[in-house]
Amino acid sequence: RLGEARAGDLDAKDVERLRAKAYGQFVRSWNGVDQVAAQVSTAWTQGWDLFRYLELVEQVTLERVVDRLRTFDRSRRAASVVR
């Protein structure tokens, strides 16, 4: 799907679905105390604000996604097989 998106086959509805998925996953992650503790500690150790996550998700737009996709250089990709 990345190739299609880079070719311009991504639209605003696709971005809205991705935002809704991210929102849903975030909300579900608060289902248990252990999950909340893991989220808070991960955010703290990585230096980001867990409570701004949804605000940042809301800022994702089609234009921003397309701009970011343009930064991927297919000639610099690699694959690993772990067995």
The 10s digit of each residue's pLDDT in 17-54 is 989 999 999 999 888 888 889 989 999 999 988 889 89
Is residue 62 within 8 Å of residue 11, measured between CB atoms?
yes
Mean pLDDT of the chain, nearest integer:
85
Average pLDDT on 64-81 reads 82
Q: pTM value? A: 0.67
pLDDT at residue 4 tops 70: no
- Find where tokens 């930064």 sit: 71
Confidence band of 3 (pLDDT split at 50, 70, 90): low
Which DSSP category does 51 fall into? G
- Torsion angle of alpha carbons 21, 24, 26, 27, nearest 10°? 170
